[in-house]
Structure 1
Amino acid sequence: MSPTEIGRKAEIAASAYLEMRGFTILERNFRRPRCEIDIIAQKDEIVHFVEVKYRRSDDQGSGFDAITSTKLRQMARGAHIWVDESKWRGEYVLSAIEVSGPTYTIMGFIENAF
């Protein structure tokens, strides 16, 4: 399976996890120059810009540890662009989900992670 297919499956698992917890998925794979947001979801009056990190196994370390300062800047840039384009005037946060293994198990979800 290609890295793109693996990433897509991890994002599907993460989206299902969020929906089971009462989130509404607003958009997936939001892309603009120099930024990408894996999932944009809303719960209550807060929009979450979610980074999905997949690891084949625990041997690769935590997916959360793989979120670099560069990625955080890209996420923040993407969030600001989406907020401007959508005219959203409410609260928003950057969050992250770690997905692992061949069954795409959710290992953790950190709301307002950064």
Structure 2
Amino acid sequence: MNNRRQNEKEGRKAERRVATYLRLRGYKVLEERFKTPHGEVDLIVQKGSTLAFVEVKQRATQRAIDESMTWRGEQRIIDSAEIWVERNFAQLPENFEMRFDFASIIGPVSPLSRVTYLKGAFLPE
């Protein structure tokens, strides 16, 4: 299997692992891999009146994870989140709050992989 395909496969496994992690903490997964012309949101979850748009990264090292998040990447997620909210506004709780979170897994993904989860990792400008 080529490297790109393997990376994508590991990324999807990481997204599933994070979705499980969040469900166990009381979040409802509303959407996975929401794609727009601007980019993609890995996970959209809800807990109470809070919507979280979650970027998931899986890399071999913490340094690689740190280097993988850029301002441009954050902006693509924010733009995509705005589209999702527009499309789903009627179903959202009154006075909902939006948050942009970041989840990471270092190393190969397994059901026991440690998830690092940062609430409010970045803010729209």
Flag whether TM exceeds 0.5 (same fold).
Answer: yes
Q: Secondary structure at the match of 1:15?
A: helix
Give the distance between the partners of 2:109 and 2:11, measured in 1 at CA. Answer: 13
Q: Give 5+ residue unaligned stretches, structure 2.
A: none
Q: Secondary structure at the match of 1:106?
A: coil
Instruction: Map Cα deviations across residues 2-31 of structure 1 (whole Å, 9 max, x no partner).
Output: 111111101011101111111110000000
Q: Does 1:53 align with 2:57?
A: yes
Assess if the C-alpha contact under 8 Å between 1:39 and 1:50 holds in 2. yes
Deviation at 1:101, TM superposition (A): 1.4
Q: Give 5+ residue unaligned stretches, structure 1.
A: none
Deviation at 1:102, TM superposition (A): 1.9
Q: Does 1:20 align with 2:28?
A: no
State which of 78, 85, 104 in structure 1 corresponds to 2:80.
78
**Larger-Rg structure:** 2
Identity percentage over the alignment? 31
Give the distance between the partners of 2:81 and 2:108, measured in 1 at CA. Answer: 30
Q: Does 1:97 align with 2:99?
A: no
Letter in 2 for 1:102: P
Assess if the C-alpha contact under 8 Å between 1:64 and 1:96 holds in 2. no
Could you say if the C-alpha distance between residues 91 and 54 of structure 1 is closer, same or farther in structure 2, counting changes exceeding 3 Å? same
Q: Which has the higher strand share?
A: 1
Deviation at 1:38, TM superposition (A): 0.2
TM-score normalised by structure 2 residue count: 0.82
- Equivalent residue, structure 2, for 1:9: 13
Deviation at 1:64, TM superposition (A): 4.1
Could you say if the C-alpha distance between residues 70 and 107 of structure 1 is closer, same or farther in structure 2, counting changes exceeding 3 Å? same
